Amino acid sequence: VYVESGAADLGITGTDVLRETEADVLEPLALGFGACRMVVASPAHVPYPSLPGGVTPRVATKYPRLTRRFFAETGLGVEVITVSGSVEVAPLLGLAHWIVDLVDTGGTLRDNGLVERARILDVGAVVVVNRASQKLQLELHQRLLDRLREAVASR
């Protein structure tokens, strides 16, 4: 938001945030850290990709736009419930049948009795640049991005 609005010229964020907000910024560099994946998960005993009896699945997530898009593309009708905090407890509380959340090792899913059902998006840290600022400060941005590229390459 800060970079898109021009309050900041450059920033670092996750691709999950960029895709969810549909921010109109440039993405000149993936930084090679913060790698994880956005997945659909559910308790092992809860059917996926459909529920019996024509029940409309409820999906809890911090990413309502990406969740709606994913299920629309797969042809599954769902009710999306936007939550903040610990998404993985939503099925345990009876709030949702499935969740969409970020997963690294899967440990938090396992700790909460959940299994990964589908991968939606690979996520990682990226540099973002304000479009207008890039035009006005191209040389400065290029020097900074070149240094960041060198740092990423040396890892």
> pLDDT tens-digit profile of 12-30?
999 999 999 999 999 999 9
Domain(s) labelled CATH 3.40.190.10 in the chain stretch across 2-34+124-153, 36-121
- pTM for this model (two decimals): 0.90
Cross-sheet strand order for the sheet of 125-129: 10-14, 125-129, 26-30
Q: Does domain 36-121 have CATH number 3.30.70.2190?
A: no
Q: Does domain 2-34+124-153 have CATH number 3.40.47.10?
A: no
> pLDDT tens-digit profile of 79-124?
999 999 999 999 999 999 999 999 999 999 999 999 999 999 999 9
* Calpha distance 108→46 (Å, rounded): 18
